[in-house]
Structures are given as structure tokens and as C-alpha cells.
Amino acid sequence: MTNPTIATLMAHRSIRHFTSEKLTTAEIDTLITAAQHAATSTFSQQVSIISVTDPAKLTILGEITGHQWLEQAGHYFLFIADQARNARLAGTSVLAQSNLHSTDKLLAGIFDATIAIEAIVTAGESLGLGSTIMGSILNDVPRLIQTFDLPSLTFPVLGLAIGHPAEQPEQKPRLPQELMHFNNTYQPLDPADPQLAAYDRAITSYYQQRGNHRREETYTHHILTEFSRDPKQRAGITTALRQQGFLSD
């Protein structure tokens, strides 16, 4: 089964090279409206979005993420889990104010921000735009919070570089559905599963055939490499969350 929406979703790929064309005000407004209409936990709308257009702040984002190419995107959005707005609406209610500091409400804000960013990605792709979601903004959370004057009960979740694609990279193969979709109960992965071996071969073929940054790689090796990174790189996240007023329960 397919339709234009499904076709757009299944054609997704990350774009890191953009033309010099900036997004128009109408395009930005359309993307923000799409994000506003995304699902939101308990209709609390616990997300705020910052459009980053200041070249100095884009440079800082490039330094934090290690990806200076984001400065050349058609636009950059920063997604914030936001309970500060609802804290103001809650006023002097002691119980409401206490709940807003909870892990539950932190997660709700993260959910809302994540759903909103995917709405913008899909809406953008339907308009012929491309993008990359960037979790690397968390490499230096204190600097990010200071740069964007984020108050208590807010926390940066993800960044999004979006614009007119100057490339059409090959699409990465995904895990077989049998390894990530189960009926009624979780199924632990068997590392000897032949489907995993076949997927490793598919990933090896992908990296050998793609136009840029060819290398020898399997999915299994990629996971081992990814989780062998120095955890100290983002060691300050929990501290920053508490300083922002979260994790009080």
C-alpha cells in the first residue's frame, strides 16, 4: 500500500549539503504550523522552537555539534522541551508547580519536541526540502543554555538543519522488520540470527557503493563503535537537567 504521504516517509534520507537558497518566511511559517498540529501529550503543548538566524549563534552551534556545515543550511531550528510556559500559567498552584519539575513532565516535553521535529521533517520533505536532525547539540548543554537564554524548566532536545538539498545521497537500509517489530511480547535479539548477518552484508554493500565517505562497515560494528565513545563527552547532561529544574522527583 502506498500514497504520497507514505512515499514521502519512505524516501527519507538525511541531507547535509544545501544550496545557498534560504527558506522564505512562508516556508518557515508552514513548517511551524505543521509542528503545531502534531500530537502533543495531554494537549499541554510542551515544546518551543527557536529559529536561529544570528550568524554568531550559528557558529556556536557549529562548534558545539562539530558540524559547521549547518551554517550553510536554508534555516536552523532548535527544539526546546518547555514547561516554563505552563509554569507561568499554573501560577501559585503548589501542586502544579511541583508536577512541572517531575521526570514525567520532562519526558512529556521531550516527546512533544521530538514529535514536532518529525512533523517539520516530513512537511519539509513534502515541499522538496531536506534536513538533518541533530542530537549533537547536547555535546555542550551549558553553553547551549547560555547562548539561547533558556530559563528554568526548559531544556534543549534537538536541532534541525533544513533547506534546499544540494545532494541526493543513497538511502541507508533499515533493520529487517522481524528484528524490531514483535507481536504481543518483546523478542531479544539473537546475535547469530541469519537476518542480522544478511543486514550486516547489506550495510557493508551500502558503504562500499555510496558516493561519499566509502568505508568497510557493518551494522554490528557500527553499534560497537557508537557505544564505545567516551561517555564523558556528554557527562554534564544530568547536572544540566537538575540545574534547569527537572528530575526533582
Query: Which percentage of the chain shows pLDDT scores above 70?
Result: 100
Position 156 pLDDT exceeds 80: yes
Map grid coordinates 539473537 to a residue: 190
| Distance separating alpha carbons of residues 225 and 219, to the nearest angstrom | 10
| C-beta atoms surrounding 217 within 10 Å | 16
| C-beta atoms surrounding 213 within 10 Å | 8
| Distance separating alpha carbons of residues 110 and 154, to the nearest angstrom | 10
The torsion of the CA quartet 136, 16, 113, 29, rounded to 10 degrees, works out to 140
Domains of the chain by range and CATH?
4-169 (3.40.109.10), 173-244 (no CATH)
pLDDT given at position 63: 97
The torsion of the CA quartet 38, 77, 152, 233, rounded to 10 degrees, works out to 110
pTM of the model: 0.94
> Mean pLDDT, to the nearest integer, of 160-172?
94
Position 211 pLDDT exceeds 80: no
In the structure, what pLDDT confidence band is assigned to residue 210 with cuts at 50, 70 and 90? confident
> Mean pLDDT, to the nearest integer, of 140-166?
97
Position 209 pLDDT exceeds 90: no
CA distances from 248 to 111, 119, 150, 188 (A): 19, 30, 18, 33
Burial track 141-180 (b if 16+ CB lie within 10 A, e otherwise): beebbebbebeebbbbbbbbbbbbbeeebeeeeeeeeeee
* Residue 44 grid cell: 499541554
* Residue 204 grid cell: 557493508
In the structure, what pLDDT confidence band is assigned to residue 230 with cuts at 50, 70 and 90? confident
Amino acid symbol at 173: P
> Phi, psi (5° rounding) for residue 158?
-150, 155
- Weakest-pLDDT range from 37-51, 136-150, 164-178, 219-233: 219-233
CA atoms within 13 A on the CB side of 90: 16
pLDDT given at position 175: 97
CA distances from 83 to 87, 144, 150, 203 (A): 6, 18, 11, 40
Strand, coil or helix: what is 80? strand
Specify the DSSP element, H or E, that contains 132: strand 130-134
